[in-house]
Amino acid sequence: TQLLEQSPQFLSIQEGENLTVYCNSSSVFSSLQWYRQEPGEGPVLLVTVVTGGEVKKLKRLTFQFGDARKDSSLHITAAQPGDTGLYLCAVSINAGGTSYGKLTFGQGTILTVHP
């Protein structure tokens, strides 16, 4: 069982459409991060959400952390071909007394935006 369940796994849309990607868990987290990864490159950090109910905006991207800090969503308004990529949510988990340096990732959502 995955600690972080992302949905949908694949998303193929037309330019200009809106979309939402979800990251769910039964565990509570102190913070959660969203990354975007393009083919052949490493993930790029988009945002970190910390407070339950927090909403952060990054241009056309809106990130929300659930009130109970168990889930998060990423909403993209008016998607563009440049938004194409793999979107990953990630958390730091306390393992053996330390969570430093260890991120646990969801399986990702592959987004394709067609012109």
Interface with other proteins (CB under 8 A): 31, 33, 35, 40-45, 48, 88, 90, 92, 95-96, 98-108
**In the complex, least distance from residue 73 CB atom to other proteins, rounded to whole angstroms:** 20
**In the complex, least distance from residue 16 CB atom to other proteins, rounded to whole angstroms:** 30
Residue closer to other proteins, measured from CB, 85 or 106: 106
Select from 113, 86, 82 the least CA-distant residue to 13.
113
**In the complex, least distance from residue 29 CB atom to other proteins, rounded to whole angstroms:** 12
Residue closer to other proteins, measured from CB, 45 or 55: 45
**In the complex, least distance from residue 80 CB atom to other proteins, rounded to whole angstroms:** 23
Residue closer to other proteins, measured from CB, 109 or 113: 109
The distance of Cα 34 from the centroid of its chain, to the nearest Å, equals: 4
SS3 annotation, 30-67 = CCEEEEEECCCCCCEEEEEECCCCCEEEECCEEEEECC
Torsion of CA 58, 64, 69, 70, to 10 degrees: -110
